Chains A and B, each alone.
Chain A
């Protein structure tokens, strides 16, 4: 599996996207904190966090006896640069041109 595959796979699950949303609001959370927001076993949450960590979207650091989970947005940005920009740029500019054209005509 390539790095991109891992990121796409990690994002292709609602529970994992929910975990990312929670970390986006505030990161540096423990497993216990994250688990308390999901109707899921500790083992289940660990499994999802592991997949996010393998994809590099979640980074963990030890702080004393606790393991803290941080959101790392860089791999998503790289996917964006590689895949999204390429396909949206032309279309967005076509729409902007259309808007400008229509506004000019109605003026």
Chain B
């Protein structure tokens, strides 16, 4: 079996997906790639089942909110090849009133709660999810609390503003 490294993964993905995947770099050795929400399910299924990549362990699904971007939300998947200990990070940027990505529950049953948590905190809709309900917050919360516009502390409090620290 050939030793898998980031370059091999890049070549392999490039040969199949061409320009449908973009490479975001490898901070601290962990390869990060980006794709579109239309392609994410195909990409996940490919890297999971491909004989060469075998990134078949879903470590985590989460999201990040970038309020200043056009596509405000990044859904981040961490996958792991347990045979050769290679991880990759796949990002999908989505925006709009109702950010939507296809659900990965058809590939991993464990994605169920990870996606529910992401929905609960960011309001990302996972299309095809069997049971997309809030999970940690109460059902009638009404907001998605991990979005950046949702304040944690009293917004009138100014003694912690960066301004006072010369920034």
| A, B in one complex | no
Binding site for B on A (CB under 8 A): none
